[in-house]
Chain A
């Protein structure tokens, strides 16, 4: 299956700063990547679908100006949390869809803590 690398694994930042999270598909050309968020003891919530070479599709209630997604190549998608606030503190996970095997493969996640 696809190998997905996500970086950084943990980030602590001050309120008002921006944080960039990278998601790389190491062995698979991913035209589509997904960004999820998980709050403690809650489900994985899909934030947006990242499409290579075009604009991302955001789920209802997710602010596109706050969560900037760039999918410039078939192996890299980035999520930038702009002007982060404490309520943005969460576990962010990217995933790649392997259509041949019909599975999602996940990165290792990024724990964001905004002070």
Chain B
């Protein structure tokens, strides 16, 4: 039972444009969300997070938006750079803290 879903397996964006990666979840108990970036044959690296008490969190070129009523979050990267090409995973956890549920990932390709 996939509680966190990323319905787009891949996305291609021109350099300098905005990349929007989407994530949906089914469990209303989730209250903390994270985005990770992963290169092939490497472990994921943390990118940005958001708590359910907020609807937006921004860090440089990366912004995460949370719509609790729709159980949807999105990651915006602007402007996109070729080095952003990677697989992006969203993850969610409940208030019990340390168990995270991951989406299936979206492979982003930024075209120079």
Does residue B2 face the partner (Cβ distance < 8 Å to A)? Answer: yes
Which of B34, B44, B91 is most buried by chain A, counting CB atoms within 10 A of its CB? B44
Asked if A56 is at the interface of the complex by the 8 Å CB criterion, the answer is no
Summed over the interface, the residue pairs from A and B with CB atoms below 8 Å come to a total of: 55
What's the interface size class on A, roughly? 20 to 34
* 8 A Cβ contacts from B82-112 to A: 89, 91, 97-105
Which residue of the partner chain A has the closest CB to B105?
A43
Whether A104 contacts B100 by the Cβ 8 Å rule is yes
0/1 interface trace, chain A 2-40, chain B, CB 8 Å (1 if under): 001010011000000000000000000000101000000
Q: Which 5 A-B pairs have the closest CB atoms?
A: A106-B43, A97-B98, A43-B104, A44-B102, A109-B43
> Which positions in A face B, CB cutoff 8 Å?
1, 4, 6, 9-10, 32, 34, 41-46, 49, 91, 93, 95, 97, 99, 102-109, 111
